[in-house]
Amino acid sequence: MAQERQGTERVVEGWTGRLFEDFAVGDIYYHPFGKTVTQSDNQTFTLMTQNVSKTHIDANFAEKTKFRRPLVNSTFTLALVTGQSTIDLSMNVFANMGWDEVRMPHPVYEGDTIYSRSKVLAMRPSNSRPGLGLVTVATEGFNQDGIIVISYRRTFMVYRVGYLPGIEGSRPDESSLPAVEGRA
């Protein structure tokens, strides 16, 4: 919502995410961002998490497997697809409650571009926290060829209307911004 400021200037809020009441069972979201997975992504994540599987970081070893090249760390794929879904599902999350039925039906390779989508399966108000609701989604990640590479169910608690903590008090005054220039 825009807020008028000094005649022609206004503060325009960006996308602030969905609250519990914004979801509906059956909604499908195609998340807007794709990511091409690099060798650096795969090796950094693998080493950062102390995963010692040679299939992720040793190209010579991976060449001798049935895949013939390094596989992308499966937990990187889970983290990537969960991250891609955040803009549509959980920008206003209170807590993730769990990931269930995680499946990896097709390998991810360095150089693949991963996209994702989610479908709302269930939702209910929290019994113990009146300012929150629980949402369960099915999420799928797929590669540049439309092949599903990961699927899972995730349940998260999200804020309800009127309960989202605000950060507006930490914003500086707009007076330090330059004046509006003449119109073309």
* Tens-place pLDDT, residues 155-175: 999 999 988 888 767 778 888
Q: What is the mean pLDDT of residues 107-127?
A: 97
pLDDT higher than 90, residue 122: yes
Calculate the CA 106 to chain-centre distance: 20
pLDDT score recorded for residue 184: 58
Q: Determine contact, residues 26/119, Cβ cutoff 8 Å.
A: yes
Q: Kindly report, residue by residue over 6-29, the tens digit of the pLDDT.
A: 557 787 888 888 999 999 999 999
Report the SS3 class of residue 130: coil
Q: What b/e readout covers 70-91, taking b as 16+ CB neighbours within 10 angstroms?
A: bbbbbebbbebbbebbeebbbe
Q: Determine contact, residues 135/158, Cβ cutoff 8 Å.
A: yes
Residues for the chain: how many in total? 184
- pTM, 2 dp: 0.86
pLDDT higher than 70, residue 64: yes
Amino acid at residue number 16: T
For residue 142, give the H/E element and its range.
strand 132-142
Least confident of 80-89, 116-125, 161-170: 161-170
Q: Kindly report, residue by residue over 137-156, the tens digit of the pLDDT.
A: 999 999 999 999 999 999 99
